[in-house]
Amino acid sequence: MLIDPMIEISHLSVTLGGKRRVDDLSMTVQRGSFHGLLGPNGAGKTTVLRTLYRAQNPDTGDVYINGTAIDAWAQADWTRTVGALVQEGGSLQGLTIRDVVDIGLMHLPLSPAARAACANDALALAGLTELTDMEAALVSGGERQRTHIAQVLARDPDLYILDEPSNHLDLCYQILLLDEIRRRGKTVIATFHDLSLAARYCDTVTLMRDGKGVATGTPDAVLTRDNLRDVFRVNGVLQDGALHIEGAIRV
């Protein structure tokens, strides 16, 4: 039992399109820790995050953030507390990169000057200062991902919910931006496909398969040779924070 949990999920089940995507999952995330959700495609990682940021209603189960049920949050408190990096994208019609970051600051009690300063700092961190007036729909996939990460950084919420934050990013920005998020010391729950990145940044991880939690603990304890073989169908081992792959198992 954790002393100060930021996220508490209890017996969560979610069905999508007739398929059970999350099946009786229970987990907790300690305040201030960096928690990774790991698993193969279709394991239910994104569905758990979508439930956390209220884009998906659960069939059954309870989800609490900071001690409050997720459907009981007032909008202003929610905006201050929760920030999410989401995979799905909108049309971004007519929006510049600065607009996208600035929209994330709505409902925060900031003066116009403070709001502009927050946006400028985050844009600089994400290496977007030169591109602020570009149309967001016209930049590369990596630049757009950095824009959305900059939006979350500008808000600096108490809880970062990050769905595949390293998607589209080159190696430099993967390290730069995840280092920055880690440095801030807030609670983070993130999905990763790159297990080396997960091992580098996560204090704890939950391994999922077919919607169920298979194991939870430190990366060293969870990413064992047996779990890599049984869940990811690869032979390999985690050594000194780096994943050594010996090959995929033929199916």
Partner 1 sequence: MGRPHVLTYVALTLLATAILAGVFFGTAEVSWADRWAALSGAADAPRSLSLIIWEWRLPRVLVVAVVGGSLALAGVMMQTVLHNPLADPYLMGLSSGASAAAVGAILWLPPWVASTLGIPLIAFAGAVCAFAMTLGLSLRRGAIMSPLVVILAGVAVSLMFQSLTAFFLYVGDPHATRSALGWLMGTAAGTAWVDLWLPLFALVAVSGFALLRSQSLDAVLLGDERAMALGIRVRRLRLVVFAAVALLAGLSVATVGIVGFVGLIVPHMARLLVGGRHRALIPLSLVLGALVLVVVDLLCRVILAPEELPLGVLLAIFAAPPFILILRRVRHAY
- Complete DSSP assignment for 117-159: HHHHHHHHHTT-GGGTTSBGGGS-HHHHHHHHHHHHHHH--SE
For partner 1, the closer CB: 100 or 125: 100
For partner 1, the closer CB: 87 or 239: 87
Nearest distance from C-beta of residue 128 to partner 1, angstroms: 16
For partner 1, the closer CB: 15 or 30: 15
For partner 1, the closer CB: 27 or 82: 82
201 φ, ψ (degrees, to nearest 5): -105, -25
Nearest distance from C-beta of residue 89 to partner 1, angstroms: 5
Which residues face 59 on adjacent strands? none
Binding residues vs partner 1 (CB under 8 A): 50, 53-55, 57, 73, 75-76, 78-79, 82-84, 86-96, 99-100, 103-104, 106-107, 135, 138, 148, 161
Nearest distance from C-beta of residue 71 to partner 1, angstroms: 11
CB proximity list for 208: less than 8 A, separation 6 or greater: 25, 37, 38, 39, 43, 44, 45, 48, 214
Nearest distance from C-beta of residue 123 to partner 1, angstroms: 16
CA 249 → CA 78, 92, 178, 239, distances in Å? 44, 42, 31, 20
For partner 1, the closer CB: 136 or 195: 136
Rounded Cα distance between 56 and 112, Å, is 33
Nearest distance from C-beta of residue 70 to partner 1, angstroms: 11
